Amino acid sequence: MGDWMTVTDPGLSSESKYISQYTSETKMSPSSLYSQQVLCSSIPLSKNVHSFFSAFCTEENIEQSISYLDQELTTFGFPSLYEESKGKETKRELNIVAVLNCMNELLVLQRKNLLAQENVETQNLKLGSDMDHLQNCYAKLKEQLETSRREMIGLQERDRQLQCKNRNLHQLLKNEKDEVQKLQNIIASRATQYNHDMKRKEREYNKLKERLHQLVMNKKDKKIAMEVLNYVGRADGKRGSWRTGKTEARNEDEMYKILLNDYEYRQKQILMENAELKKVLQQMKKEMISLLSPQKQKPRERADDSTGTVISDTEEDAGELSRESMWDLSCETVREQLTNSIRKQWRILKSHVEKLDNQVSKVHVEGFNDEDVISRQDHEQETEKLELEIQQCKEMIKTQQQLLQQLATACDDDTTSLLRDCYLLEEKERLKEEWSLFKEQKKNFEKERRSFTEAAIRLGLERKAFEEERASWLKQQFLNMTTFDHQNSENVKLLSAFSGSSDRDNPTVHSRPRQKKPHGAPSGSPVCMSKLTKSLPASPSTSDFCQMRSCVSEHSSISVLNTTPEESKPNQVGRECTNQKWSVASRPDSQEGGYSGRSSTYADSHVEKDDLP
């Protein structure tokens, strides 16, 4: 402000320029500095009024300066500082009211400007941080782009290599094919050659055989002979017949007779088979008709025209065909009718059966689904209930155990006190006092603990709500990223798999409320009691507890690990960008999960320490 006052050029127009300059200078400075300046500016203004104005206006040039100001103000649209002159000659009087009004207006303007300046500066700051952020983002994206570009180049290179390989393989294949073709040709030629050779050899062989035959057989080999004591009679008792044309004809006749017999036999068999099949067919047809007839009305009622007509057709056909005489006709005449009618009926039957099947399957599926859903819900409810019951039972057992121990220790105390009683009554008194003190302390601690647990519960609820919110947000995010679906499913699978690893460790989301429970609602008092009573066999719950805690923290770290490999998976260039975004979104929460686990352990240990007297 002071700077502006020292400006020799009193143009109001420069004000805005200066402000802008100023704000640009103070861009990096926090807003507190700015407000200080504003504060400063108002104070020196009042102090330096005199000296300030003396620089501009002196005793001598009041008039000029007033007129100058008047001029300036009027040019800016303010009312004139002078009173309305009645006459031209009369010297215009300075209107104090107007001056004051003007000043006031100027001040108001000034304040407004300051406000605007402040706004602009904050905006500028915001914009600056936005800019930073965007620059960061830009840098990251640039990096990504670079990596993806590199990958792309790598992939292209690989592609090229593969193509090269492919080309080579194609070439090899072609060569192989050529080779095969060549070999086939060779085989074919060899085969023909072989056949040719074979034929030649066989001819030679035949020639030799012929020669041998001549040599061996035509020599009137005396050795080739049969010595028989006496010729025996033929088996059939007949005499051998002469070979004549008649015998040949007879042989032919006999042969054909045999063949005919065979064919007749076969025909008979086929006829028999046919008759049986016809019988079966007829029976089937009858049964079909009887089966379908009660349902005929229904499809007609349903105005199912096609089937209705078909049925009427078949009825007619059936009427025709059911006559016994038709069955005795040769197949050719009846065949068409028969096959047609059977086909039609079969079609009806088939459609009917399919319908039934559909219905059945539908009913089945529906029923199954319903059952399934119900059972699942029931199951979940039941398991929840059972879990609750188990929890309660466990607590009961714990408390009972503790009570028992307490009793036992109390009893011990009593005996020792009795023993000591022999020596010192005072000490006993003291001990009693101490005991009451301890009890009081215990009560206090319990109170404290309760408050703690309440706070923890509240915290837990809040956290739960937050987590739910986050989950829904994440889900939305996930849903938005449709390309990610299968990866998501993988993620889910991983989670579920790890949840199934042990029955105690439910999915992390489920386990969280449980984490709170132990140091929340119930078991605080038993723990502290056990400490108080100094029972050495420390209740197993605490140690278990710690283990579980560590487990949980491990799991949270695991979940972090689970997410990371997916981030580093550079599957596709286009996908990676979104992937990165997602990782940015997801990483803090996973870390937070880890921290939350750890922090809760700290809290717990802290509470335990407190419990110790």
Partner 1 sequence: MNFSEVFKLSSLLCKFSPDGKYLASCVQYRLVVRDANTLQIRQLYTCLDQIQHIEWSADSLFILCALYKRGLVQVWSLEQPEWHCKIDEGSAGLVASCWSPDGRHILNTTEFHLRITVWSLCTKSVSYIKYPKACQQGITFTRDGRYLALAERRDCKDYVSILVCSDWQLLRHFDTDTQDLAGIEWAPNGCVLAAWDSCLEYKILLYSLDGRLLSTFCAYEWSLGIKSVAWSPSSQFLAVGSYDGKVRILNHVTWKMITEFGHPATINNPKIVVYKEAEKSPPLVLGRLAFPPPRAAAGPLSSTESKYEVASVPVSLQTLKPAPDRANPRIGIGALAFSPDSCFLATRSDSVPTAVWIWDIQKLRLLAALEQLSAVRCFQWDPRQARLAICTGGSKVYLWSPAGCVSVQVPGEGDFQVLSLCWHLSGDSLALLSKDHFCLCFLETEQGVGTAFGQRGDHT
The footprint of partner 1 (CB under 8 A) covers 198-199, 202-203, 206, 209, 212-213, 216-217, 221-236, 240-241, 243, 247-248, 251-252, 254-256, 258-259, 262
Q: Report the 3 state secondary structure along 409-476.
A: HHHHHHHHHHHHHCCCHHHHHHHHHHHHHHHHHHHHHHHHHHHHHHHHHHHHHHHHHHHHHHHHHHHH
For 331, the token pair is 């197949």
- Determine the Cα–Cα distance for residues 405 and 407; give it in Å rounded to an integer: 5
DSSP 3-state of 94? strand
The SS3 assignment for 82 reads strand
Radius of gyration of the chain from its Cα atoms, rounded to whole angstroms: 56
Closest approach of partner 1 to the CB of residue 208, in Å: 9
φ/ψ of 82, rounded to 5, equals -95, 155
The token pair at 200 is 């030649």
Between CA 37 and CA 54 the distance in angstroms is 24
Closest contact distance (angstroms) between CB of 216 and partner 1 is 5
**Nearest-angstrom CA–CA distance, 470 and 466:** 6
Q: Nearer to partner 1 by C-beta: 226 or 422? A: 226
Which C-beta is closer to partner 1: that of 97 or that of 212? 212
Q: Angle of helix 31-47 relative to helix 96-217, nearest 10 degrees?
A: 170
Q: State the Cα–Cα distance between residues 70 and 78, nearest whole angstrom.
A: 9
Paired with 82 in beta bridges are: 94
Nearer to partner 1, 253 or 462 (CB): 253
Cα dihedral 281, 283, 288, 291 in deg (nearest 10):
-170
Other CB atoms within 10 Å distance of the CB of residue 596: 18
Q: Which is nearer to partner 1, 100 or 249 (CB)?
A: 249
CA–CA separation, 105 and 316 (whole Å): 111
Nearer to partner 1, 170 or 213 (CB): 213
Q: Work out how close the CB of 329 gets to partner 1 at its nearest, in angstroms, rounded to a whole number.
A: 23
Interacting residues of 511 by C-beta distance below 8 A, sequence separation 6+: 505, 552, 555
| Residues counted in the chain | 613
Q: Smallest Cα–Cα separation from 516: which of 569, 462, 479? A: 462
Partnered with residue 94 across adjacent β-strands are 82
Sign of the CA dihedral with 486 first, then 491, 494, and 499 last: negative
Question: DSSP letters of 79-91?
Answer: PPSBPPPSSSSSP
For the beta carbon of residue 532, count every other beta carbon within 10 angstroms. Answer: 18
Whole-angstrom distance, CA of residue 285 vs CA of residue 344: 11
Question: How many CB atoms within 10 Å of residue 307?
Answer: 19
Other Cβ atoms closer than 10 A to 72: 14
d(CA 125, CA 129): 6
Closest CA to 6 of 21, 18, 16: 18
Greatest CA separation for the chain: 191
Nearest approach in angstroms of CB 276 to partner 1 is 16
Helix 425-480 vs helix 573-611: crossing angle, to nearest 10 = 170
